[in-house]
């Protein structure tokens, strides 16, 4: 399998094991790990192992992988124990969206009643 990777990308470095992360869920296509600066009791980032900059780029280039990423959000909610209580899923895109790391990632937030204003 040819892995789409970016040598400069922080999350690609986590995929390659060069930077440690608290992994909570992993498949051959996706990786989920705890956000280093959590905004809720549960705050997990779910990423494709392949590098795609944002949600639209991923969906355009590899829709099956986009589907796998969304399925992994549900799996993370299960393993983190918030599937029943509920959770919020956020994708930031670009400058105005507040995206700091240009490797597409879903924020999965839960474990408490979230204020509507929460912005990871």
Known catalytic residues are 105
Per-residue mark of binding to Zn ion, 85-114 (x: CB under 5 A): ------------------x-----------
Give the CA diameter of the chain: 42
Taking a C-beta distance cutoff of 8 angstroms, is the pair 58, 104 a contact?
yes
Of 43, 49, 51, 105, which lies in the binding site for Zn ion, with binding defined by CB under 5 A?
51
- Among all residues, whose Cβ is closest to Zn ion? 9
Q: Please name the residue that has the structure tokens 């905004």.
A: 39
Of 29, 53, 89, 99, which lies in the binding site for ligand AMP, with binding defined by CB under 6 A?
99
């Amino acid at each position: 399998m040819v892995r789409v990777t970016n040598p400069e990308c922080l999350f690609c470095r986590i995929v390659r094991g060069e930077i440690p992360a608290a992994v909570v869920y992993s498949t051959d296509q996706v990786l989920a790990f705890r956000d280093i600066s959590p905004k809720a009791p549960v705050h997990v980032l779910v990423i494709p192992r392949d590098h795609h900059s944002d949600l639209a780029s991923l969906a355009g280039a590899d829709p099956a992988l986009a589907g796998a990423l969304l399925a992994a959000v549900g799996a993370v909610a299960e393993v983190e124990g918030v599937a029943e209580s509920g959770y919020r899923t956020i994708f930031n895109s670009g400058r105005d969206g507040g995206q700091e790391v240009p490797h597409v990632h879903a924020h999965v937030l839960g474990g408490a009643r979230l204020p509507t204003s929460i912005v990871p």
